[in-house]
Structure 1
Amino acid sequence: MFKRLKKKYVVPAVAVGLLFTGAGFTYRDDFFEIAKQIEIFTTLYKTVNTNYVDQTNPGDMMDKAIKSMLADLDPYTVYFNEADVAKFKINNTGEYTGIGAMISRKEGKLIIKEPYKDYPADKAGLKAGDEIIQIGDVLLADFKEDASELLKGSKNTKITVKYLRQGKPYTTDLVLSEVDVKAVPYYGLADKETGYIVLSQFNAKASSETKAALLDLKSQGAKRIILDLRGNPGGLLNEAVNICSLFVKEGEIIVTTKSKNDKYNNTYKTHAAPVDLDIPLAILVDGKSASASEIVSGALQDLDRAVIIGSRSFGKGLVQRPLDLTYGTQVKVTISRYYTPSGRGIQALDYTHKDADGKAIRIDSKNYNAFKTRNGRTVYDGGGILPDVVLDASKQSAIADALQRKDGVFNYATQYYYKNPNLGTKIPTVTDADFEAFKAYLKKENFEFDTDTERAVKDLMVTAKKEKVDESIKAEYNALLAAVQKSEDKELAAHKEEIKQLITDELIKRYQYKEGLYKYYLTSNTEIKKATAVLANSAEYSKLLKK
C-alpha cells in the first residue's frame, strides 16, 4: 500500500517542489497564478494515474512533461535527468570512460559513425557504418532505452558486442578505457609561415590546447595563424574569453551579457597576458559555427584583430547555465543574451515570436542594426557573424545538407569503402563516374531528401487518405511528386562539385581517420587556401581591417 501511495503522490510532490521552488524565486509577482497552475497539474496527474486503463510510469511521465514544457521556450533551455547530467558533464570536460567512437541511433539502429583512432572501438576493429545489434546479453531490437549507456562502465571493463557489417554478423570484444575528446584535434603548418589550428569545441581544455598549439606552431616558424571554427557548436563562455586572451591585451572587453536578472548581467574581459598581439590572424566560420565560436569571431572582428572568412555563422546569441536540482538532476536555463564589444547581439531566431507552425521567426535583415568596429568598419547584429571575406564555397546547399542529415553520403561511403578496401593513405578521387554511381545508389535505396517541398507533398497524400479522396487525386499526386523528385535531380546536378567534395571528405575519414582529413584540408580546402592567401598579402590584410 505504501509503495503505491509513494508512486502516486510522492513523485508528483517532488516535481511540484522543484517547480514551485524555481517558480517562486523567478516569478514572485505571479505567485497566485503559479500556485494555481501547479495545483491543476498535480490534480491532473493524480486523476490520470488513478483512472488510466494501464499502469503508468511516473518517472517517464514527469520527464516528458518537464521537457515538453521547456521546449516551448527555446531549444537550449532543457531538463537533465540523472543520465543526462552525466552526458552533459562529458561534453564540458571532454573526458569519459567508454569505447571512443561517435555513434548514432536512427530508426532503432545503433550505428558507428566514426571510431576514434587508437581507442577501444578502433582497436576492436569496428568501422564506420557497422550496426551494433547486441551488447552483452542485450539484444538492441528489444531494448528501447538509450543503448549507448550499455557501452559505458569502469576502465578495463570488457564488453562483447555483435554487429552487422554489410549485412554479415560479426562479434568482437571491447575493453573500455579513458577517452579524451580533444578540443584541438589537429594543428599543423599550411605553408612554411602559416599555422593552422582546428578548434572543434569549447570544453574546459579549449584555451589550454589552443595555446599549446599556437606556441608549438610559432616555434616551427609560423608567422601567421588560421583558427578554424567551422562546425564548432560552442560550449563554455569563459573558454571563449580565454581564447581571445591569446591575441588581445589584458583587460579587453570580449563579451557582455544582459538579463532581466541583475546577477546575470556581466562584462567579461581578458585577464591573462597575451601570447601574441601582432601575429596576423584569420578565423574560419560557417553556418554551423555557433555560440562560443561566435563570441570569439565576433569579438576579434569588432576589435579588428582578425579577418573572418567563410559564410555567415549560425546566430546563437543566448547564454545558458546549468542549475542543480534535487536527486542529481539539472536544468540548463537560458539566462541572458550576449553582446560583442561593439554592442551587437547576433541572435538570429526570435523565440518570443513564432509562426503558425510554432517555429521561431528569423530576424529580417531589414531590421538589422549597424555597429562600428574599433577601426570604424560597419558590422551588423541580428544574423550571426557575417565574415569579412564571404565565400560561396563555405555555404552548404539545401540538397547537400539533406544528403548529410539523412546519411546519403555516409551510407554511400560505407559501400564504397568495402568495394575499394586497399586505398590506404592514397587520397580517393571521386570522379564524374563515381558521382553517377552515387546518384544510382540513391535511387536504388529510394533515398528521401525530406526537403520542405517533398514533405508538404507527402503530407498532402496523408491528409487525402484520411479524407478518402486519395484515389481521385492519385494521378495528380504522382505527377507532382515526380516533378519534385525531378527538381531534386536537377539540384544534385547543379551542386555536383560540392557533393563530390562531401563524398571525398567522408571517404578520407574511412581510410585515414579525421587526422587524414585535416591534412588533406591543408593543401586542398578552398577556405584554408583563401585564408593563407589573405594572410600572406599584408596590404590586403590591412585593408580588410582598415589598419
Structure 2
Amino acid sequence: MKFIKAKIIIPSVIGLVIVSIFLSFNLKNDKLFAIAKNLDIFASMVRELDSYYVDEIDPEELVTVGINAMLEELDPYTEFIPEENSDDFRMLTTGEYGGVGALIGNRTGKNMVLMPYKGFPAQSAGLRIGDEFLKVDTVDVREKETADISKLLKGPANTSVFVQVKRGEDTISVDLERKKIVISNVPYYGKLDDNTGYIKLTDFTTNAAADVRKALIELKSQGINRLVLDVRDNPGGILKEAVEIVNLFIPKGKEVVSTKGKLESVNVVYKTTKSPLDKDIPLVVLINERSASASEIVAGALQDYDRAVLVGKKTFGKGLVQTTVPLSYNSQIKLTTAKYYIPSGRCIQAIDYSKKEDDERVVPDSLRNQFTTKNGRVVFDGAGIEPDEAVEDRSYAPITYSLVARSLIFDFGNQYFLKNKEIPSPREFKVSDETYNDFVAWLEGKEYDYTTYVEKSIEDLEKYAEKEKYFDEIKDQIQNLKKKVTHSKEQDLQTFKAEIKEALKDELISRYYYQEGVIEASLSEDDAIKQSLEILSNTSKVNSLLSVNTKKK
C-alpha cells in the first residue's frame, strides 16, 4: 500500500493544543471529550515511539499511515490531500496544470508517451506515441516510476524542460516550454449522419458546461436536429457543471438535484437558472457502468423529466457529495458531506458505507424504492441509473485481449508509423489485408499465448472431476476434448481477423489523429451508437420509450 507523507508539527504539541482548546470552552459533550482524549493519546504514543523504539522511525510517515487507515473506515471518496499533492488535486477538479500536454504511461516495462494532446508543447515539438523517456532535464528516468516522470515534466507555465527520448533506434532530444494545459471536457464532437450530432463528454471539470454548449451550438449551425450525448466512462466532477449541462435542455427554474446531509448548510436545492439552449431537440444519453457522480446527475435528471432516452448499461451508483475543507499547513481533506437526490426524489447511491460488512453494503432489490418520472414512468433508487434501452458491451476473443495486453498491437503501431507518413481520415481509414498480413508476419516468434474460454472450461471440469472422484471414469473423454479444442494461434488470427483489424485500426489512427481521431473512428463500430441512431430516427420509438410503462425491478 502506498502512503503519502504529510507535514506535521510535534505530536505532543498537537495533543496539548487540542486538549487546551476543548478545556477552555468547558465542553461537557462526551463525544468532544472523547475526541480530545484520544488525540492526546495518539500524540503521546507517537512521541514515545519516536523516543524509545529500537529503530529510527519517521513520525510523519507513521501519522500519515494513521490518517489514511482512519479514512479507509469511512468511504473511498473521503481522502487526505497533503500540500505536495495539491497541484494534482487542482488538476483533477479544474482540468488545468502547467506542463507539456502529454499522457504518459508504462508499456512492457518502459515509460513512454501514450498520447500527446493536440496543440500543446509535446505534440508541437514532435513527440510521438511510443517515444520512450530516457532523460528529463538532467535526470535519468529509465528506472523511474511514471508518477515521478510526470512530476518532472510539470512545472510553472513558460518555463523550459529538456526531454530525451528513444524512438526506434534513434535518440531524440527536445527542449519544451511548459504551458498552461487546459484539457477540454469535450475531446470530440461531430455529426453521426446528416441530422444527428454527437458530443463526447469525458469530465466535469471547470468549463464542462461551456464546452458542451459550444459543441452544441456548432453542431446546430451544421444543421443537426437530434443529438447523442455520450457520458460513458465519465467519472464525474463539479456538481455545478452538471446542473448547467442539464439546463441546456430543460427550462429555467426546474430542480436538477438536491443535496442532503447532517448539517443544514449542505442541504441545498440546485435549479436551472437560464433559458435552455434547446428544450425540444430529440436526445439520447449514452451511459455505462463507469458513468458516475455528475454523469449520473445529468443522465438521471434528464430521465426524470423524460427529456432524454438513456441507452447503454446501468451506471456506477455514486450518490455521495464531497466537499474540500482546508487543514493546517496547506493540506486539505476531501470528505463526504451529503447525498444527492435527483428530481424524482431518488438517491442512486448503490453502496451503503455505513455498514461494516461488504455483503451488507449493496442495497438488495427488495429494498429499492419506487419513484416515477414526469410522465409517470417507474424508476428505482439505490443502484445507479438504469438505461431505458439496454446495450451490452461487445465481447472479444482471448487472442485479441492477449495481443492488446502484451502491447503487441501498440508496438506494431509504432513500427507502422515510422514507415508511413500519412493515412486517410479516421472515417475512411481501413486496415488492408496487406497490412494485416504484415502484422501476422511481424508476430512470428513473439509471445502472446492465451487460454480460450473452452480450454478454461475443460480445465475447470478436470479439477472438479478430480475433486469429486470422477476423474478416472472420464479422463479419456477429457483428453479427447483437449485435443479437439486446443487452439491454434495461426487459425485464431484468421478466425478473429475482423476484430483484431479493428483494434489495429484504432491504434494506427491514434498515431496520426490523436484522441479525437480514435473517438471518431470508433463510432461506426459502436453498438450503442447504432442503437441510438435507430431510436432517434423513429419518433414513435422515442415517444414510446418516454411514455408510461410498467417497468419492473
Structure 2 letter corresponding to 1:444: E
Give the aligned residue type for 1:115.
Answer: P
Deviation (angstroms), 1:397: 7.9
Q: Work out the CA distance in 2 between the residues paired with 1:439 and 1:12.
A: 65
Match of 2:470 in 1: none
Superposed displacement of residue 56, structure 1: 3.5
Deviations 1:100-152 (A, max 9, x none): 01123689854322111121222233233333232112223676773322112
| Of 115-124 and 125-134, the range deviating more from structure 2 | 125-134
Q: Deviations over 1:7-48 (max 9, x none)?
A: 9962664599799999x9xx9651232223212221221122
Q: 1:8 to 1:375 in 2, by over 3 A?
A: closer
- Paired with 1:88 and 1:158, the residues of 2 have a C-alpha distance of 23
**What corresponds to 1:278 in structure 2?**
280
Residue identity in the other structure for 1:134: K
- Rounded to whole Å, the distance in 1 between the matches of 2:360 and 2:507 is 32
The aligned amino acid for 1:381 is D
Contact 1:285/1:312 (CA < 8 Å) preserved in 2?
yes
- How far apart are 1:445 and its partner, in Å? 5.9
Paired residue secondary structure (2:192): strand
What is residue 127 of structure 1 aligned with on the other side? Answer: 128
Q: In structure 2, do the counterparts of structure 1 residues 446 and 279 end up closer, same or farther at CA, with 3 Å as the change threshold? A: same
- Please say if residues 81 and 334 of structure 2, whose CA atoms lie closer than 8 Å, have aligned partners that are also in contact: yes
What displacement does 1:79 show? 0.8
Q: Secondary structure at the match of 1:129?
A: coil
- Please name the residue that 2:192 is paired with: 190
Structure 2 CA distance for partners of 1:65 and 1:283, relative to 1, 3 Å: same
Query: Is contact 1:120-1:177 (8 Å) kept?
Result: yes
Letter aligned with residue 292 of structure 2? A
Partner of 1:62: 63
5 Å-filtered alignment, 1:59-458, equals 59-104=60-105, 110-140=111-141, 146-165=148-167, 169-355=171-357, 361-393=361-393, 408=405, 412-419=409-416, 421-422=419-420, 424-426=422-424, 427-429=429-431, 444=447
Q: Which has the larger radius of gyration?
A: 2
Residues 183, 206 of structure 1: 8 Å contact kept? yes
* Contact 1:192-1:221 within 8 A present in 2 as well: yes
- Quote the RMSD (CA, aligned, Å): 4.2
> 3-state DSSP class of the match of 2:352?
strand
Offset of 1:55 from its aligned partner? 3.9
Between the aligned partners of 2:367 and 2:531, the Cα distance in structure 1 is 31
1:64-93 CA-partner distances (Å, limit 9, x unpaired): 332232123111111111122111212222
Amino acid at match of 1:216: E
**Alignment-mate amino acid for residue 422 of structure 2:** G
2:353–2:361 CA contact under 8 A, matched in 1: yes
Deviation at 1:419, TM superposition (A): 4.0
The letter for the 2-side match of 1:193 is N
State the alpha-carbon separation in 2 of the partners of residues 76 and 187 from structure 1: 31
> Identity of counterpart residues, as a percentage?
37
Counterparts of residues 41-56 of structure 1 (less than 5 Å): 41-56=42-57
For 1:243 and 1:19, the matched residues in 2 are separated by 47
Kept after mapping to 2: 8 A contact 1:9/1:46: no
Structure 2: which amino acid aligns with 1:161? V
Q: Is the 8 A contact 2:399 2:450 kept in 1?
A: no
| Distance change >3 Å, CA 34–CA 498, structure 1 → 2 | farther
Q: 1:38 to 1:322 in 2, by over 3 A?
A: same
One-letter amino acid of the structure 2 residue matched with residue 382 of structure 1: G
Between the aligned partners of 2:341 and 2:539, the Cα distance in structure 1 is 30
Q: Counterparts of 2:280 and 2:406 in 1: how far apart (Å)?
A: 42
Q: Using the TM superposition, name which of 533-542 and 366-375 deviates more.
A: 366-375
Structure 1: which 5+ residue stretches go unaligned?
Answer: 1-6, 458-478
Q: Which runs of 5+ in 2 are unaligned?
A: 1-6, 461-478, 549-553
The amino acid of 2:306's aligned partner reads D
Q: Does structure 2 retain, via aligned residues, the 8 Å contact 1:154–1:176?
A: yes
- AA matched with 2:388: D
Distance 1:441 1:166, change over 3 A: farther
2:265 counterpart letter in structure 1 = K
Q: Across the two proteins, how many residue pairs are aligned to each other? A: 503
Distance (whole Å) between structure 2 residues aligned to residue 19 and residue 105 of structure 1: 48
- How far did 1:317 drift? 1.1
Contact between 1:240 and 1:292, CA under 8 Å: does it hold in 2? yes
- Secondary structure class of the residue paired with 1:327: helix
Distance 1:242 1:117, change over 3 A: same
- Give the AA of the match of 1:422: N
CA 1:528–1:207 in structure 2 vs 1: closer, same or farther (change >3 Å)? same
**Conserved 8 A contact 1:320-1:335:** yes
Q: Residue type of the partner of 2:63?
A: M
Q: Distance in 1 between matches of 2:153 and 2:529?
A: 37
Greater displacement, 328-337 / 434-443: 434-443
Taking structure 1 as the reference length, the TM-score comes to 0.80
Report the Cα offset of residue 166 of structure 1: 5.2
- CA apart distance, 1:160: 1.5
Q: CA deviation at 1:311?
A: 1.3
Distance 1:379 1:430, change over 3 A: farther
Residue of structure 2 in register with 1:540 after alignment: 541
